[in-house]
Amino acid sequence: MKNKTALITGASRGIGEAIARAFGQAGFDLILTCSRSMEDLEKIAEEIKNIHKVSCECHCVDMGNYEQVTGLFAGIDHLDVLVNNAGISYVGLLSDMSHDEWQKVMGTNLDSVFFTCKHSIPLMLQKHSGRIINISSVWGNNGASMEVAYSASKAGMNGFTKALAKELAPSHITVNAIACGVIDTAMNRCFSPEDMEALVQEIPADRLGTPQEVAKLALSLADSPDYLTGQIITIDGGWY
């Protein structure tokens, strides 16, 4: 029996790496992308292949570039699960943000979701089934000061998720998002230890989340009932 195939974007570290490892352990053949850390991604892929005996392709792709994403999909002829994890942040005053910086955040975090879904849907329609999982943020629900572009991109992802779920529900393709709270990844290491400690004190679980916890939730959505769709599922230790 042929393994199912999952495409996971932004898989060279953090949440994306954890999701790749979890899906590999579950027996999925993998297509992994990164924007620049190809050496790291290839090392992860080799470990997954050797341990779990699955196929694991690596591609260096700017997910905010439509031509590059189209090129990626030119080599994909079937797909069961799409995990849109690629994302970047910008921390600073909106008035200090350049137009190029705004476009980069929106391109990587939101345009990429349109690009991948546009190409994935025809592949999933062939099987009349599929799972699209978007990695979002609590800031998409609530907004964060000094992270306006990031918050806007994740709010857009949430709206995209709910709308596309309605389009695809008759075809047994589900679309859900995971709204992450503060997860212990490199993206959050721009904050000082003092700031992080203050943040942890606000979280009822009294700790940061782990990438592995997000990965476990993503894997469960890959095997969820068709009736579970259009949801923004928050994993934040009870914070929001």
Q: What is the pLDDT of residues 129-138, one digit of tens each?
A: 999 999 999 9
User: What is the pLDDT, as a whole number, of residue 196?
Assistant: 87
Domain segments of the chain as ranges: 5-232
Instruction: Please give the full DSSP string across 87-124, using - where no structure is assigned.
Output: -----S-GGG--HHHHHHHHIIIIIHHHHHHHHHHHHH
Distances (CA, A) of 63 to 39, 113, 162: 18, 8, 21
pLDDT at 220 over 90: yes
- Annotation: CATH topology of 5-232: Rossmann fold (3.40.50)
Catalytic hit among 66, 150, 227, 240: 150
Average pLDDT, the chain: 96
180, 150 Cβ separation under 8 angstroms: no
For residue 64, what are its two tokens?
């905010």
The structure's pTM equals: 0.96
pLDDT at 28 over 80: yes
Q: Is 227 a catalytic residue?
A: no
User: What is the pLDDT, as a whole number, of residue 199?
Assistant: 87
Can you tell me the distance from the alpha carbon of 108 to that of 68, in angstroms, rounded to the nearest whole number? 12
Q: What is the pLDDT of residues 89-103, one digit of tens each?
A: 999 999 999 999 999
134, 162 Cβ separation under 8 angstroms: no
